Chain A
Amino acid sequence: MTVQALPLWSKLAAKGAPHAFDLELTARCNNDCRHCYINLPSGDATAAAAELGLDEILGIGREAVDMGAVWCLLTGGEPLLRADFGDIYLGLKRLGLLVGVFTNACLVTPAHAELFRAYPPRDIEVSVYGVTRETYEAVTRRPGSHAAFLRGLDLLAEAGVKVRFKAMALRSNLGEFAEIAAFCRERTADFYRFDPLLHGRFDGDAVRNAEIEAERLPPEELVALERADPERFGALERGCTDGMVFQPSGEHDGCDHLFHCGAGQGSFTVGYDGTFRLCSSLCHPDTVYDLRRGTLREAWVEWVPHVRDLRGSDPEFLQKCRRCSLVDLCLWCPAHAALETGSMDAWVDYFCRVAHARAGALGIDG
């Protein structure tokens, strides 16, 4: 039975309990991808020193399990950089969690493959940056990373570990995006997705943010890519038809609440340094809670309602975004606005242009 099919799921939702959480084991990565919102050098001693230790991680896991959590995603940075990855992974599984892993696969060793074979993850999602060495390494900026990626995939396949794939659509790899999709679909019957929406860095690094901006596709190209993927575009169309995407005009008139999304509603994220966040992208200083100074239960019961009650006051935001009927076609959210501008209630031109381009493709008047 899948997790979502369980009656338990609705019981947890009705109780307002968390069912899932992401754990960023590290912000460090073996790659140096141009579009990455978090990566720090693998040898960054300051970042490594700030990382949660095994006992801290398992302590948070125990609290989450006590509150009802079922599903845990290990991510980074590159989680396999951690020498204690196996202890973390098995420790969380032994708490009764379904554990998933996001990885670039470059650091997969025979020991990792054997671990995943013997103790299967709920899923492993591998990021794919290109299919040729030139493109792959133009994105990762690490010579030898393409060969390491292929070797890691082979090890997982030989161990019978099923993987899912994700590709980021970038200017640097757009030229072979069809080949990337074919590569992924050839290697998994399970799942392939791509994401063309790049948001800013968690650390606000201006130079790296400029690199991210330079990798963004113009709205028209982004929409063309989505249109070329029947599954993705079909989902958007169905969402509009079913009224799940297209918000009736004026729905948010008069409301200045920042959060209308699912942040902190059943799931949360724990950063590598023990910061509790309502979702993976929400890093604004007014919204994070230090789990080294308090408990997960306090964060969930007391901090989450406080954050979700935050209001916006920027007139442009209230006039444009809060009244916009295309909000669900937009990358805008308080978290992404803050990463873009430093403010959670700022209007973001690029996001707005993407939303209107999508609306145009779907035949919706924005």
Chain B
Amino acid sequence: MIDDMKAEDVSGPEVTLESICVPSDAVVFREIEGDVIIVPLVAGIGDADDELYTLNETGKAIWQKLDGRRTLAEVAAALTDEYQAAPGGLEADVLGFAVEMTKRRILAVRG
């Protein structure tokens, strides 16, 4: 879901479907010409040689629903409605995205 990012195994806070995730203070995110761009602000985000990151369409759709109020389950439900997916079918995708992004300090768990 995040382009050109290799795995870096760091333990992040536990993320569940009841978590509310928001962009972390360690990055700045921008939308330019329809693309979501994530610009690392601090050291140690992702790979050393990467300057910034873009999200693919799935990642972008999830990211845009992370409004600081909805839980990940609610995000998945909203996307399920929007894309007319099978009930519960997107929860694993949303959770996987949030876990990966939280490990990389791009997302933070609120509360």
Contact = CB atoms under 8 A, between A and B. Distances in A.
Contacts of B1: none
A118 B25 CA distance: 13
Contacts of A8: 32-33, 35, 37, 54
Interface string A1-13: 1110111100110
Interface in A93-124: 93-98, 117-120, 122
B97 interface: no
A1 B43 CA distance: 16
Interface stretch (B45-53, B60-68, B77-85): B45-53
Interface residues of A, number: 24
B111 to A, nearest CB: 24
Contact of A11 (B33, B40, B43): B33
B53 A1 contact: yes
B9 interface: no
A96 B39 contact: yes
Contact of B35 (A2, A7, A119): A7
Contacts, number: 62
Given A1-B50, A11-B33, A98-B52, A117 B28 contact: no
A63 to B, nearest CB: 14
B10 interface: no
Given A8-B32, A11-B35, A3 B42 contact: no
B41 interface: yes
Interface in A41-77: 65, 68, 70
A6 B55 CA distance: 11
A96 B30 CA distance: 7
A15 interface: yes
A94 B52 contact: no
B28 A98 contact: no
Contacts of A5: 4
A271 to B, nearest CB: 26
B4 to A, nearest CB: 4
A333 to B, nearest CB: 29
A66 to B, nearest CB: 10
Given A94-B28, A94-B41, A119-B42, A3 B33 contact: no
Interface of A: 1-3, 5-8, 11-12, 15, 65, 68, 70, 93-98, 117-120, 122
Interface of B: 3-4, 28-30, 32-35, 37, 39-43, 49-54
Closest 4 pairs (CB-CB, A-B): A96-B28, A1-B4, A11-B33, A96-B30
18 contacts: A1-B54, A3-B51, A7-B35, A8-B33, A8-B54, A11-B34, A11-B35, A12-B32, A70-B37, A96-B28, A96-B29, A96-B30, A96-B39, A97-B39, A117-B43, A118-B42, A119-B41, A119-B42
